[in-house]
Amino acid sequence: MTNHTPAASADDAPADIREMLRLSQQQNEKMTRVFDRPTTIIVLTWGVAWFVGFLTLWSATEGNPWFRTPIVPAGIVFTVLMVAGIIVSAVVGSRTSRGMRGAVAFQGTVYGISWAIACMAVPFFGGALLANGMSPELAALFYPAGYSLVVGILYLAGAALWNDKPMLGVGIWIIIVGIGAPFFGAPTNYLVMGLLGGGAFLVYGVWLVLRQRRRVARYSRTDARAAVN
């Protein structure tokens, strides 16, 4: 009896360790899914907003050689899309940590609110510059670049919060686009922002969707193996 008990404990130990690792993996997968879905929503929202919005502005100028859109409707479309992006980012970002507690909940809430504050700062700052003599031609370069820098920096912050390297790469790319677009002058900067900025968001969003599907499939296989064992 004395020799049997230690042997049983030794046999049980590996199973216990495997169970702990499985539970830890499940928890990590759960946290990843919690942040993946809102990130995808925000990315695709901005992808559509930038791709459609900036190309609409570009089409309202002489830059588009194929067709022209009236300037007033183009401005309305762009404004609506930008406001929609701000609202979606703020709401989804602040609700990401719903049901969580402690530092994670605080980080998620602050990150969501930061989208609204930072994006609203751009038009107010631009309005102050216009009131102090900034020309409409310069404003056409400032606003797209301003939004690009703000969004890029917010992506860098999100990458740091969620340890997301692809998000870090997208943030850096958006900042590069924002800095580089003004060198093309208006209205070509709208085309650059729409294709290289909005296009990057859309590609990243599609990649996130595919990554989520792979993770769900892997998670399902893990649960199936656990059930068999």
* 107-122 tens-digit pLDDT: 777 887 888 888 889 9
Q: Which two tokens stand for residue 113?
A: 């609110």
Most distant pair of Cα atoms in the chain: their distance: 92
* Residue 186 identity: A
Model confidence band, residue 67 (pLDDT cutoffs 50, 70, 90): confident
Domain housing 220: 43-228
Residue bearing the bigger pLDDT, 104 or 174:
174
Phi first, then psi: give them for residue 2, nearest 5 degrees.
-65, -40
Rounded mean pLDDT, 25-35: 55
Q: Is the pLDDT of residue 133 over 70?
A: yes
Lowest mean pLDDT, pick from 8-12, 22-26, 212-216:
8-12
For 64, counting Cβ atoms within 10 Å of its Cβ (0-12 exposed, 13-18 middle, 19+ buried), the class is: middle
Is 7 among the domain residues?
Answer: no
For the segment 43-54, what is each residue's pLDDT rounded down to a tens digit? 899 999 999 999
- The answer as to whether 82 is a domain residue is yes
Q: Looking at the domain assignment, is residue 31 inside a domain?
A: no
Considering the entire predicted model, what is its pTM? 0.77
Q: Which two tokens stand for residue 155?
A: 């992506």
Spatial neighbors of 32 by CB under 8 A, at least 6 apart, are 215
Question: Does residue 27 surpass a pLDDT of 80?
Answer: no
Number of independent structural domains in the chain: 1
Look at residue 27 and tell me if it is in a domain.
Answer: no
Q: Is residue 37 part of a domain?
A: no
> Does 136 reside within a domain?
yes
Mean pLDDT of the chain: 81
pLDDT tops 60 at residue 1: no
Round to whole Å and give the CA distance between 186 and 182. Answer: 7
In a domain, 2, yes or no: no
